[in-house]
Amino acid sequence: MPSIPFNARVNAQPDVEQDLLRMKCDVKVNNELYVRLLNSARQLRLVKESKARIVDRAAVPKSRAKPQRSLVVALAAMVGLPAARALTSLRIKY
């Protein structure tokens, strides 16, 4: 069966069926719009009903945040070396 474009198939149908297809499409689009508007109304109602207020504005940092490499290395050594020693002593005993 050859592939016929959708518009050609619709135009080949009787007028009543074409009207029905248009109406179904309109209903689908209108339902989607209604759901979107309903969600927007709910969001607005939540914003109006909420008791939350902005007390202070966030301060913009003067410099970018970055990891403190020396602190990370020192902490890793302080935790890693004793852990490695404990594991090796346990391995030797057992």
Q: For 7-34, what is the mean pLDDT?
A: 87
At residue 18 the predicted structure's pLDDT band, cuts being 50, 70 and 90, is: confident
Cβ pair 11, 18 in contact under 8 A:
yes
Q: What is the pLDDT of residue 5?
A: 72
* The model's pTM: 0.41
pLDDT at 17: 86
Q: Which helix (H) or strand (E) holds 85?
A: helix 69-93
